[in-house]
Structure 1
């Protein structure tokens, strides 16, 4: 064993939680014959936003190494469980041939973490081979902390590679298309007025299942927009943009999370737990076929996709542990996901999973 994880929670955001998480993971490695840790991937809940440095110092001392990297997040999980709504620390400790190293230009894929307000434009450009997560700023006045080499990063973002490994990354959007693509006829900025021959809102409501239409469960609805020159077939295709519905108006307007232009193709899609779980299962089967003997997994889930979506349990996590029993997994619930693609996509309500195996 060259990688191990641990998850520790408590009532207060104390440095001891980070220390205990690292020690418990390190103890698993030492029991398996490892001599020492060489690096640590450490996630803390956003309760630690004002107290990061003492937690990092405690984690570095427990691991006896200086390469401690990670970020704050809304919630955390490992292969053994998840924590939301209380202070927690989750650690993945590396030993032997696998280690965390600073990401270099040209290396792919790159583990990328950032505060939402500090997202570099180049992370969302065509050809970007990054995967990871964004998190909303814990305080309106300052970006949330991200750290590397045991210290907070001044620019609130980091890029890492796992030396000694090969990787495979997959995306689960959890979406089921409700409509055929229709042209955007009238749009003003983020507000879509007319779609095909209907108002945007009429088009959406007529497509929704009855229960969701009556309860106006629009937070489960996403607009799938094909880039110019592409036919819209599957939401997970790299040339599709996934835009959450922000608001609707009695005038038939649907407000989306980004601007559109007349003539673009748009289809409505919905997230439903059973369909999302099956898609996650299919995604992980395919991922395992690409990398059949993984040494570790990293998962980045949306805060709106985990236990809040599945009625109190994280079915995506359960699917991972069924497909890859015994594989160490470290994950976080964030406000945005990053997936490698030709479109450099930034996502919401999705799950990005990366598997790594020793070379």
Structure 2
């Protein structure tokens, strides 16, 4: 199996950009045609999508074009979130047999649909007001799911959260309003857990509650004058949780540990990086540290990705939607022995 990645950026979203990305991917893989193409486009291509997919199919000499549009795209060559861009991953062939990886899934519906929350296991990206396609044709429900039999996937989910303070127990909660904890009011507990320099102006958009390490965090929407907190999900009296904060340094360290650990255990042939629009360059102050760490760890590995609003990841209780995270998928042939 030969794999190559390509990226094209321009001032306007023309079909020629998708063609350029595919041709560059073919050249880097040493191919003249592809058996399959994974294509990500920035949202700018909405009005040009049919022509863009035709251009990609013509360049690849195949109709097996799957993918979605997103807030931005990235590859092993760099990231783009403010200009029309296309990234493509081309394959000479894919293994036909072997256990299938979790179902690769993309959705432009802005949420994790109810029928995607249970079996089968899914990994992927969710965005809002975006498009999805398979077989070089747009899917009317803005969803795309791809089975990759014969490939083993190692998924790395980096949430970038640092626990702060002591574990808390809910005393009084009313739907999404967290009013009282066993240790005092919700607001007082949170402020005590925060570093001193953040207490005067708490960074609400970076705060969350963690009930379980394997479950998505619950975001804090507001600190209220009566000492309560408004949350993105409801809690029940007696539940326990940890306060957590998203910080670039913690995210950087977590991502480095995940990639270093995977490097010693896998022999990937290609990768996908599905990041949150609130995690990449906007989170790290102008550069995508997650992408930089990936290129440092796997300098020659073909990779493409996209920036959305959530990442799909399977857990003990079904598929879940995580926010402000980055999901890195390392793919290797199922018939290749992993490193000891």
Structure 2 residue aligned with 1:7: 7
Deviation per residue, 1:189-219 (Å, 9 max, x gap)? 2221112232212211221123332332111
| Match runs of 1:147-226 below 5 Å | 147-226=133-212
SS in 1 for 2:147: strand
Q: Cα offset for 1:164?
A: 3.3
Question: In the TM superposition, what are the counterparts of 1:237-256 in structure 2 within 5 Å?
Answer: 237-238=213-214, 240-256=215-231
Alignment of 1:133 with 2:125, yes or no, is: yes
1:260 counterpart residue number: 235
Structure 1 stretch displaced more, 127-136 or 294-303: 127-136
Q: Are 1:65 and 2:65 counterparts? A: no
1:24-63 aligned within 5 A: 24-29=24-29, 32=30, 34-63=31-60
Deviations 1:207-245 (A, max 9, x none): 11233323321111111113xxxxxxxxxx32x331122
User: What is the Cα deviation at residue 162 of structure 1?
Assistant: 2.5
| 8 Å contact from structure 1 (residues 118, 155) kept in 2 | no
Structure 2 equivalent of residue 321 of structure 1: 295
Q: Distance in 2 between matches of 1:150 and 1:286?
A: 36
SS in 2 for 1:339: strand
Normalising by the residue count of structure 1, what TM-score does the alignment of the two structures yield? Answer: 0.87
Partner of 1:233: none
Aligned residues: 332
SS at match of 2:18: helix
Which residue in the other structure is 2:304 paired with?
A: 330
After TM superposition, list the pairs within 5 Å mapping 1:116-127 onto structure 2.
Answer: 116-117=109-110, 119-125=112-118
Q: 1:111 corresponds to which residue?
A: 104
Q: Is residue 2:276 matched to residue 1:302?
A: yes
Q: Deviations over 1:154-183 (max 9, x none)?
A: 222121122432221121111110022211
2:338 is aligned to: none
Structure 1 residues 123 and 290 mapped into 2: Cα distance closer, same or farther (>3 Å)? farther
Q: String of CA shifts for 1:296-317, please: whole Å, max 9, x gaps.
A: 0111111111111111111111
Scaled by the length of structure 2, the TM-score of the pair is: 0.92
8 Å CA contact retained: 1:306, 1:315: yes
Q: Measure how far apart 1:107 and its partner are.
A: 4.2
Which consecutive residues of structure 1, in runs of 5 or more, have no partner in the other structure?
138-143, 227-236
Deviations 1:52-73 (CA, angstroms, capped at 9, x unpaired):
2121111111111101111111
Q: Is the 8 A contact 1:2 1:98 kept in 2?
A: no
Specify the alignment match of 1:341 in structure 2: 315
**In the alignment, what sits opposite 1:141?**
none
After the TM superposition, list the runs of 4 or more consecutive aligned residues in structure 1 that deviate by more than 4 angstroms.
none
- What is the alpha-carbon distance in structure 2 between the residues aligned to residue 210 and residue 80 of structure 1? 40
* Per-residue deviation, residues 301-340 of structure 1 (Å, max 9, x unmatched): 1111111111111111111111111001111111001112
Q: Is the 8 A contact 2:216 2:323 kept in 1?
A: no
Contact 2:106 2:145 (8 Å CA) reproduced: yes
How far apart, CA to CA, are the structure 2 residues paired with 1:345 and 1:184?
Answer: 23
Instruction: Determine the C-alpha separation between the residues in 1 that align with 2:112 and 2:225.
Output: 34
Instruction: Please state whether the residue corresponding to 1:333 is helix, strand or coil.
Output: strand
